[in-house]
Structure 1
């Protein structure tokens, strides 16, 4: 044995003796006419010959049995296809040789054999594929009706076997998509990959079968056109299933719409959509059709401007239960029947842009909604003559309110007073404070004209002349007050059952009504019982009926009666209980100052309230007979200053 080891060591250190004719600096020359069997590659673990190497699985090289056993055999592995060692010699290893591949690819196994040291060697080689054996990367999709779909990968194996649960493996080709029944109790799928020319390179992987939730029938609740896009809103779609949007062709056949996109569990979008009937088909990875929804049709609305109207037409294959039409987002109170396909909106103003949307309701939860379409109304004919209403406010300003049919906010209004232009404005209400004289002959008449946004002008409205009220006291003290007024003109024509009604209103200082008096249109009335506690009595005339949209009020007419103070010429502060104090009497004594001074001009008494009286004392001294001067000053309700003077004498 020591001799054999020494010989082997000598041979390994003497490559020149093994390859005397080759040398070190060139590629190994291949010997022609190789034998039928040169050498074999044996799997170390199983002891079987292999034609394909496996990454990580050890093999050994051995000459075929037909070769001369007395020859010396050595081997070298070179990466690549048909790549020979260069230089030839230094890395050959005497048989037996083992090799463990580390990566997939192609290798060339080169054999060097020679009869004896110094003899000419033979060089033979074989090319082998080295294959990896990863776990198969397959996918599993559970389906309804007890099925499962398995998608087998295309590489690296040349064949696969699929096992459902503990069932028998079933062969499957690479890239195959196969549907299998799921036996009762099976919860996983195992896929094993193999190579046809080497069953030792194999591996498997297992994935669970996640069952699908029970499929809820899909329902389209709303279909809305948004430009060229159709938006579908549905009941909640069951997760794990595929949903296909289909459109009905002219032949009555439903075809899938490939561009449809599912946005969420309740929303799908169809870009560049065509009008028509749509439905939703539910499928899984095994079955193309499980359930379909009831179809729902798009609603295609068109709008065109005509003379003072916007003409709406729409296309809808099915009659709904009802319609809802909106203008500028607000529903229009119009009764459309299910069979209607057109509507003329006459409540439009020229030059104004409107937006329309139509909703077809099939039930409380199923609707089809059109796109929102804008249109600008047009006209060439004059607009309707506006109606004018006039009344006075509590500040005696004339308030003018214009109403133009079909034109609630647009266009320009020109308000006139006695044919004189007051203002041009888009406002439907204006106030005129230019009237300062309120006599019967000064009653103004107002008119208004309208120009729409297309430049069409209306006729002037009929004149509206609000009533004017006057008031004057009939005597010095104002015990009775005479009132007069002009008749209101310009109301709609009275009917036999509805004519103008006049009512005279007596006002409190806070403008609430103290008393109302029905009067006629004769224009005169005497108030014989004006309020006794008001210095200034204020009146207002209210006119109603005959088609007036609201009461029309006259100006507020007022009468300011005199403030009067009554001071006695003498009093006797002797304690007998008669005429012991000086007190002020009179009417309308609300805000005043009463002052008493002695003959030296010194103030001896002052009061601002009628309850304050003077007992004749001067700086707490007992009353002394004599004369005193008094002064009374007040501001009345009209803002005028009233001054009275006199003397008073203290008697014993």
Structure 2
């Protein structure tokens, strides 16, 4: 044996002795030089086959090579790391003991071959093994439309994978790939197996339930609405899980994706910075499957410009609709628009008035395209139409005036006049005149109106409108008949169809009866109500193109209130003329007072049911004379006073 080799063996033996006796400081195991080609191997316990690579969680045992001396005793020690020798050198485990790696990386396995025979030198050899992890593959699935699934494979730790859909054949795939696979009928799971290129033992698998989307529902844009520079798309409810994009046709009618379109809900999208065009909706899934797009719907761009007493509307629309709906100030206009129409003239406008318009195009299947709201102020330089005036007396004998101006239902200013005098200047279409207090036929009030629109254009004055004026007077002293006279209404559009009706009223102005007096200007009422002191009449004028009934003032005729008191009565209990009572006509409430010769009040009554039996302070009647006084207020508001004497006889 060469001297150098002998020296190495001596040093090894000396070191081991020192370590075992604790007489020297611990040192790493000295490695025996000139190791043979095969020293020892790792044997996979499960398969009994040699393994150059170890696996986390997979047991191995260590076995010396066949070219080694079987008489030696072989023990092994494992240290984490590459080329890491035991320090101190021991204790070693018997070769029959298994080792299971717990973490990926490198381990250094040191072998101690020793013998108790004299002259046999021990050996120390080591081998570094790489340990591979073998976790279940952490792959992910993305749901696609029925018939395909997307699998995303992890990039570590395995070098390659196989993917099995259901019970189908496994398909090889590289790590880190995103792959779309067809789904066989009946498949419910996906299994992925991970493998290393240089280590067939370190493998593992994972299974996940198959994830797929519901079938795609119908794609349909139901409504396109413009709002400023934004387009709102209302769509049929979208199926969850798919990706949706809005496409817009360019000038060549080629559809391009609109990146700025935003889905705001499952039924709507907004497209900012919009341009007039056709829009459609497209759906894809994460597997890259693309589906037929929805039918395209055109935007509707509306413009409005003012002209002389009219507003001109025009719009841009790429496809003819089935019908249109045009609204002005949120009220539909009964405008018959042909599907091919692209303009409309609104002549029912008033100068100075701001109008808002919106146009809706309707297509088959309930699809619509709605323009933005546009506003325009009507203008004019020509005079507006002459106002149309109507007048009638109300139940308080005030004249109610109503004016209307074509095309101007509420704007502009009206000036009401009577006898050339201005009553009021107002925007109101109605006015009450309570200045007339005398009602004489033929001299009644007449009214006119003029109009100025919001562009300061002034109309002509309307023709005078004179409501009928009625007068009533008693035809005899007792008022058994009433004579009525009136002046006819002037200012109706036509006069040959006017009709007059005389109304007889009660005290509450309810109609008791009516008499047709169309071709008369006077009438004698021979049967006035006998229960009313003051009889009331009103004239109703109809027809002639009037917008409603025009009434005259209420005319009254007041008959005299009369009270009758006898000069004597005999309160002797014979049943004849035993009490004193007030009689007369039109008696309602009154004050009837009787005093004796000393001026002392002996009786007071306020209605006809109250009578005097001649008693004074509950004493029996005493013959003599008494003074009475009667006082009442009649229906005309006049105070009626009567007085006299009455004598009590035996």
Bin for the TM-score computed over the shorter chain: 0.7 to 0.9
Following superposition, the deviation at residue 565 of structure 1 comes to: 0.6
TM-score (norm 2): 0.82
How far apart in 2 are the matches of 1:103 and 1:20? 24
Query: In the superposition, relative to structure 1, how do residues 278 and 617 fare at CA in structure 2: closer, same or farther (>3 Å)?
Result: same
How far apart in 2 are the matches of 1:254 and 1:33? 77
Which residue pairs with 1:118 in the alignment? none
Structure 2's unaligned 5+ residue stretches are 1-12, 115-122
Deviations 1:543-582 (A, max 9, x none): 2222211122222222232221111112233445443332
Among residues 551, 557, 567, which one is paired with 1:559 in the alignment?
557
Following superposition, the deviation at residue 44 of structure 1 comes to: 7.2
Q: Name the SS of the counterpart of 1:274 in structure 2.
A: coil
> Is 358-367 or 542-551 further displaced after alignment?
358-367
Query: In the superposition, relative to structure 1, how do residues 175 and 450 fare at CA in structure 2: closer, same or farther (>3 Å)?
Result: farther
How far apart in 2 are the matches of 1:15 and 1:46? 44
Q: 2:18, 2:24 within 8 Å by CA — same for their partners in 1?
A: no
> Is 517-526 or 449-458 further displaced after alignment?
517-526
Q: 2:29, 2:89 within 8 Å by CA — same for their partners in 1?
A: no
Which residue pairs with 2:541 in the alignment? 543
Q: Name the SS of the counterpart of 1:435 in structure 2.
A: coil
How far apart in 2 are the matches of 1:526 and 1:492? 30
How far apart in 2 are the matches of 1:577 and 1:330? 82
Which residue pairs with 1:170 in the alignment? 171
Which residue pairs with 1:25 in the alignment? none
Q: 2:139, 2:152 within 8 Å by CA — same for their partners in 1?
A: no
Q: 1:61, 1:95 within 8 Å by CA — same for their partners in 2?
A: no
Which residue pairs with 2:421 in the alignment? 420
How far apart in 2 are the matches of 1:572 and 1:642? 28
Aligned pairs for 1:113-192 (under 5 A) are 131=133, 133-144=135-146, 146-192=147-193
Q: Name the SS of the counterpart of 1:555 in structure 2.
A: coil
Q: Name the SS of the counterpart of 2:553 in structure 1.
A: strand
Deviations 1:421-452 (A, max 9, x none): 22222221121222223334652322223233
TM-score (norm 1): 0.82
Deviations 1:108-129 (A, max 9, x none): 96989999xxxxx999997958
Query: In the superposition, relative to structure 1, how do residues 37 and 535 fare at CA in structure 2: closer, same or farther (>3 Å)?
Result: farther
Q: Name the SS of the counterpart of 2:560 in structure 1.
A: coil
Which residue pairs with 1:234 in the alignment? 235
Following superposition, the deviation at residue 620 of structure 1 comes to: 4.8
How far apart in 2 are the matches of 1:539 and 1:558? 6
Deviations 1:253-302 (A, max 9, x none): 44444444444443343343433333334444456344443333222222
How far apart in 2 are the matches of 1:458 and 1:244? 59
How far apart in 1 are the matches of 2:408 and 2:348? 8
Q: 2:535, 2:557 within 8 Å by CA — same for their partners in 1?
A: yes
Q: 2:412, 2:453 within 8 Å by CA — same for their partners in 1?
A: yes
Among residues 490, 512, 515, which one is paired with 1:514 in the alignment?
512
Aligned pairs for 1:67-82 (under 5 A) are 77=80
Among residues 19, 32, 50, which one is paired with 1:10 in the alignment?
19
Query: In the superposition, relative to structure 1, how do residues 108 and 447 fare at CA in structure 2: closer, same or farther (>3 Å)?
Result: farther
Query: In the superposition, relative to structure 1, how do residues 218 and 634 fare at CA in structure 2: closer, same or farther (>3 Å)?
Result: same
Q: 1:416, 1:422 within 8 Å by CA — same for their partners in 2?
A: yes
Deviations 1:122-155 (A, max 9, x none): 99997958657354131142533x3333333444
How far apart in 2 are the matches of 1:107 and 1:377? 90
Q: Name the SS of the counterpart of 1:599 in structure 2.
A: coil
Aligned length: 626
Query: In the superposition, relative to structure 1, how do residues 644 and 39 fare at CA in structure 2: closer, same or farther (>3 Å)?
Result: farther
Aligned pairs for 1:317-332 (under 5 A) are 317-332=318-333
Query: In the superposition, relative to structure 1, how do residues 203 and 329 fare at CA in structure 2: closer, same or farther (>3 Å)?
Result: farther
How far apart in 2 are the matches of 1:320 and 1:36? 91
Following superposition, the deviation at residue 243 of structure 1 comes to: 4.0
Following superposition, the deviation at residue 589 of structure 1 comes to: 0.5
Query: In the superposition, relative to structure 1, how do residues 72 and 218 fare at CA in structure 2: closer, same or farther (>3 Å)?
Result: closer
Q: 2:563, 2:584 within 8 Å by CA — same for their partners in 1?
A: yes
Give the CA RMSD over aligned residues: 4.2
Aligned pairs for 1:427-442 (under 5 A) are 427-440=428-441, 442=443
Among residues 574, 579, 585, which one is paired with 1:587 in the alignment?
585
Among residues 603, 607, 610, which one is paired with 1:609 in the alignment?
607
Following superposition, the deviation at residue 75 of structure 1 comes to: 7.3
Deviations 1:473-517 (A, max 9, x none): 3443333333333332222244xxx43322222222222212222
> Is 53-62 or 552-561 further displaced after alignment?
53-62
Q: 2:141, 2:149 within 8 Å by CA — same for their partners in 1?
A: no
Which residue pairs with 2:361 in the alignment? 360
Query: In the superposition, relative to structure 1, how do residues 357 and 20 fare at CA in structure 2: closer, same or farther (>3 Å)?
Result: closer
Q: 1:635, 1:642 within 8 Å by CA — same for their partners in 2?
A: yes
Q: Name the SS of the counterpart of 1:10 in structure 2.
A: helix
Q: Name the SS of the counterpart of 1:559 in structure 2.
A: strand
Which residue pairs with 1:453 in the alignment? 454
> Is 1:303 the counterpart of 2:301 in the alignment?
no
Which residue pairs with 2:118 in the alignment? none
Which residue pairs with 1:503 in the alignment? 501
Query: In the superposition, relative to structure 1, how do residues 156 and 620 fare at CA in structure 2: closer, same or farther (>3 Å)?
Result: same
Structure 1's unaligned 5+ residue stretches are 22-29, 116-120
Q: Name the SS of the counterpart of 2:19 in structure 1.
A: helix
Aligned pairs for 1:248-263 (under 5 A) are 248-263=249-264
How far apart in 2 are the matches of 1:434 and 1:47? 127
Query: In the superposition, relative to structure 1, how do residues 39 and 550 fare at CA in structure 2: closer, same or farther (>3 Å)?
Result: farther
Q: 1:34, 1:124 within 8 Å by CA — same for their partners in 2?
A: no
Q: 2:503, 2:514 within 8 Å by CA — same for their partners in 1?
A: yes
Q: 2:56, 2:131 within 8 Å by CA — same for their partners in 1?
A: no
> Is 586-595 or 133-142 further displaced after alignment?
133-142
Query: In the superposition, relative to structure 1, how do residues 110 and 165 fare at CA in structure 2: closer, same or farther (>3 Å)?
Result: closer
Q: 1:15, 1:90 within 8 Å by CA — same for their partners in 2?
A: no
